Structure formats: structure tokens, C-alpha cells
């Protein structure tokens, strides 16, 4: 699309930009809050790396995770790490 068929109005364009900027600000705020959560967990003696792994794992599709774990176990076995 070359943009030649688009009717550009300053107000509409400004609204798109301001909405995107608002989302960017919210994302930045959420990142700060997330960082604070991990700092609190670390302060209470928890290791944050395993917590991050669990969060990632919980977000995955269970079937995909099971397949990846099976392949990982197969590779470990082949290397004598099982």
C-alpha cells in the first residue's frame, strides 16, 4: 500500500499516536511493577530464575510443553544425563 488513497487528518492521526503513547506508558509502568514483584520475591529469599521459568511454563500450551519435555528427556538420555 503506497498511502496515496488515504485521507489524512491531523486530528485522527494525533488520536492514533496518543493512544499508542498511552499504551507505551502503561507498558512501562507494568514493567516497573513486575520488576518490583521480582525484587520483593528475591528479598524474601526466593530465586527469581525458577519463578520466571514457572511463569513461562504456565503460559505455554500443555501439549507443546509435554512434547518439548519428552524431547529434552530423550536428548538427556542420549547424552547419558538421565
pLDDT tens-digit readout, 16-56: 999 999 999 999 999 999 999 999 999 999 999 999 999 99
Please report the pLDDT score of residue 4 as a whole number: 66
Please report the pLDDT score of residue 41 as a whole number: 98
Please report the pLDDT score of residue 2 as a whole number: 63
Please check whether residue 2 lies inside any domain of the structure: no
Burial category of 26 from C-beta neighbours within 10 Å (exposed 0-12, middle 13-18, buried 19 and up): exposed
Please check whether residue 44 lies inside any domain of the structure: yes
- Dist. CA 23–CA 17, nearest whole Å: 10
Please check whether residue 4 lies inside any domain of the structure: no
Position 68 confidence tier, pLDDT thresholds 50, 70, 90: very high
Please report the pLDDT score of residue 1 as a whole number: 56
Domain hosting residue 51, numbered range: 10-78
Report how many domains make up the chain.
1
Amino acid at each position: 500500500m503506497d498511502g496515496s488513497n488515504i485521507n489524512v487528518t491531523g486530528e485522527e492521526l494525533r488520536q492514533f499516536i496518543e493512544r499508542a503513547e498511552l499504551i507505551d506508558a502503561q507498558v512501562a509502568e507494568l514493567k516497573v511493577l513486575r520488576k518490583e514483584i521480582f525484587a520483593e520475591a528475591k528479598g524474601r529469599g526466593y530465586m527469581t530464575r525458577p519463578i520466571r521459568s514457572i511463569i513461562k511454563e504456565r503460559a505455554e500450551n500443555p501439549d507443546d510443553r509435554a512434547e518439548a519435555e519428552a524431547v529434552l528427556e530423550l536428548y538427556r538420555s542420549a547424552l547419558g544425563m538421565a
